[in-house]
Amino acid sequence: MKKAAYALLTLALVFAAGELILRAFGYRGDPRVVDFRFQITGDLIGEPDPVRFWRLPNVAPHFQGAAPRIICLADSVTVMEHGRGWPELLPDALRAAGYAKPAQVFNAGVPEYTSYQGLRYFETELLATRPNIVTVEFGWNDHWPSPVNRPDSAVQVPRPTVFALHQHLIRLRLYRLLRTAILPAPNPKVLRVPPDDYRQNLRRIAELVRGQGGQMILLTAPYLDNPFGWVALHRTYIDATRQAAGELQAPLVDLADVFLHRRDLFLDPRNDQCHFNKSGAEIVAQAVAAVIVQKGWLP
């Protein structure tokens, strides 16, 4: 009994010493080990979700009555300015375009979402609200390399109990060291959503929307032209969006060319060539409203 207790004490001391040494040197491990999937903490991304990987807490459509329902499905481009994204500007833009009646708009943007997550979000939760119009804008996060070397469609979120245990253990530097040691090397060729899957996700969203008598508008993801390596790949997804719009005979709000050289439309043009400011949001809202009114889609 004493030998066992001595062995346990020795092991605990070795463990504590190793933990202290790692902390002293500021060791944090590979960033990928902080969570099973991505950073699923804080207000930016929200809380874990078994279907969509993560969700924004306390965010859901609250449609009421007979007023038309519009859902704006997207990633962070619609939510970066906290309530001042283009979906929030859309009702005023509709009035300015000539639609005088009330319209209900739900901003369904979630930071870092891909078209795969958007599809799962729509088919499992938003479809039941029977929207009249759904706008779809993805592409940015689809073409980033997967941090787990698997496309989104092959990823499984761990059970809540496993995830909760991981969230406690990740505070230990020794645990981070162990997980870092067993991580496979990142493969930049494994994208979160390959281009063919991206087009298929757009087609599936269109099928779901139209199956209930609704209409869909596709938007290309605008960017600010620069020499960065991701530009060519981003253009591939813009072209895929254009192709999908043609195949589906869906209206396309082609923002890419409009924003290409407009530094004044982005939140931080030097460091962020993706997220646009209020001026950019106004342009998007006006363009979407013009399509809706021209098509006569709202009663």
Strands 266-268 and 252-253: unpaired
3-state secondary structure of 66: coil
Tell me what pLDDT residue 132 has. 98
Residues of the chain with CATH 3.40.50.1110: 68-144+191-295
- The rounded distance, in Å, linking the Cα atoms of 223 and 232 is 12
Tell me what pLDDT residue 252 has. 98
DSSP strands (E only) in the chain: 47-49, 53-55, 69-74, 104-109, 133-137, 215-219, 252-253, 266-268, 272-276
The phi and psi torsions of 264 (rounded to 5 degrees) equal -75, -5
Mean pLDDT per 10-residue segment, the chain (299 residues): 77 85 88 59 66 88 94 92 86 96 96 95 97 97 89 85 81 88 85 97 98 97 84 95 97 94 91 90 97 96
Residue 135 bridge partners (DSSP): 72, 217
Tell me what pLDDT residue 16 has. 86
The phi and psi torsions of 195 (rounded to 5 degrees) equal -55, -45
Report pTM: 0.87
Contact 191, 153 (CB under 8 A): no
CATH of domain 68-144+191-295: 3.40.50.1110
